[in-house]
Chains A and B, each alone.
Chain A
């Protein structure tokens, strides 16, 4: 019976219920979107790392696995690596950041293509002139650029020479020498990739390289991919924590306002229930159940909205962020916002439960 009363109460004020549910839902969406972005971005990085086709990755000690950092390795290291047993081809890149999680990559495309069989062009082709630039499909879609269009980056105008399928190292490719000149890193590299004659030799080659190159980070493909955890995205981790805090705060605030108003509006009804012998626990139970139900509805709405944010990202910024749906976080996000909502109902529920029966009955 109490659930029927709870349901009827929520139905009786549809707009308030809708707004409260929506605010709780937005909290859930914010959490799921942030977590989904972390996971999506990392998975995208893993996919692109695999797409390079290298067996061994070498980077400077101050570079991060996300692919940024200064170009600190000497280019001569490529030749040294190619002289080592089992290494079939080695090539280096310079990765230059152009904003949050955005970068351009300078690559020796001829050698780069030998790692993975070459870029798969959707339209156009490789570099012809020094002001040619290659972009992947996601970047093309996000920036609305196609072959022949002008693209301004690093204070220079470039001509889009080719658009290639994503999942292949970088979003934006320029000739290695051009990037080195532009970023004053002549003779330097950010990352070196090596392909072996047989992947089975990976461990042995890494062991041998580590003994000779002690100041460098040297990873196999699997080791590199295992580094792609949320620890590699500290900014997003902090942001996610902030969003969780805000979700709890605003969820609690909204539920507080909604339930406080509800308690005031229903003063007389609470008095009626008390005149029938309802205990403070019974009254408390009604309001807690209402909040619980709104939280459940909010969580469902929030999960639904996280699909919307994923779609929006896919349409508007596919090259910058990839959002995944992280099912494991559905109950976590739901519980976090529910905790906020229950926090918000404590005072109104206490007020209702301890209201004087006689005063409540005379309330108009």
Chain B
């Protein structure tokens, strides 16, 4: 790791096999994200930003290159190792919220603690964040009873409940109207400012990206603008 970066990639490449063709999704990506930074990655569809997101989250391995997450090299990490990474270091916020429909808001948050084997009272930093998210009055509701904006805020709460080093957000406002988008992005920015949460957000929306401290642009599997 150089210069205290919490995420660092060097010459990152990813090739998919699609039918008889090899598709190069990433063609040598070098990225550094500092701890406590809010970084937005923008780019058109097919630019490789989602592939980068999946590699950084341990959802898929890289074909070539190095990835350091919080000091840990991901190359050669087993499935169990990547599972451990998701449980302890990185967490996700997805475009489709991905809440468990059978559980209440409270239980959707609790299940993340259960998976991480965390017991006892909630972390004060999380309680502060929960206030910010404004979902305290919806804890006993199931996802279907919530608006899209509320569901996304629950997803954010679930993502940060175990105090991950990195929050990865993939098009977090992709399914939201303008008002809810602004709200959710505001929350992410507040989390970054108040509790120092490192956030890496992928978006194709320049207005959303403007909430970040720094924006990098990808195209054709490469970073074209820092």
A interface residues, Cβ below 8 angstroms from B: 1-2, 4-5, 8-9, 11-12, 268-269, 271-279, 282, 357-358, 361
Contacts and interface: CB of A to CB of B under 8 A. Distances in A.
Interface stretch (B18-26, B97-105, B184-192, B203-211): B97-105
A12 B80 CA distance: 30
Interface string B84-104: 111110011010001111110
Interface of B: 54, 57, 59-60, 80, 83-88, 91-92, 94, 98-103, 107, 110-116, 158
- 3 cross-chain pairs, A with B, having the tightest CB-CB distances, nearest first: A277-B87, A1-B114, A8-B102
B80 to A, nearest CB: 7
B102 A5 contact: yes
A275 B115 contact: no
7 contacts: A4-B103, A269-B100, A273-B111, A276-B87, A277-B84, A358-B59, A358-B60
Contacts of B116: 276-277
B111 A11 contact: no
A9 B107 CA distance: 13
A2 B147 CA distance: 26
A36 to B, nearest CB: 39
Given A273-B115, A276-B115, A5 B83 contact: no
Most buried by B among A8, A273, A277, A358: A277
Given A5-B103, A269-B101, 5 more contacts: A4-B107, A272-B99, A275-B59, A276-B112, A357-B59
Nearest to A268: B98
Contacts of A275: 57, 59, 86, 92, 94, 98
Most buried by B among A1, A12, A271: A1
Most buried by B among A1, A9, A272, A361: A272
A9 B112 CA distance: 17
Q: SS class of chain A's interface: helix, strand, loop or mixed? A: helix
Given A358-B54, A361-B94, A5 B59 contact: no
Nearest to A278: B115
Contacts of B98: 268, 271-272, 275, 361
A282 B100 contact: no
A8 B87 contact: no
B84 A5 contact: no
Contacts of B111: 1, 5, 273, 276
A11 B142 CA distance: 14
B83 A279 contact: yes
Contacts of B86: 274-277
B107 A5 contact: yes
A277 B112 CA distance: 8
A16 to B, nearest CB: 13
Given A5-B107, A358-B59, A279 B80 contact: yes
Nearest to B54: A358
A277 B115 contact: yes
A181 to B, nearest CB: 74
Contact of B110 (A1, A11, A272, A277): A1
A242 to B, nearest CB: 39
Contacts of B92: 275
B100 A274 contact: no
B83 A277 contact: yes
A274 B121 CA distance: 24
Contacts of B87: 276-278
B102 A9 contact: yes
Contacts of B57: 275
A279 B98 CA distance: 18
Most buried by B among A8, A11, A268: A8
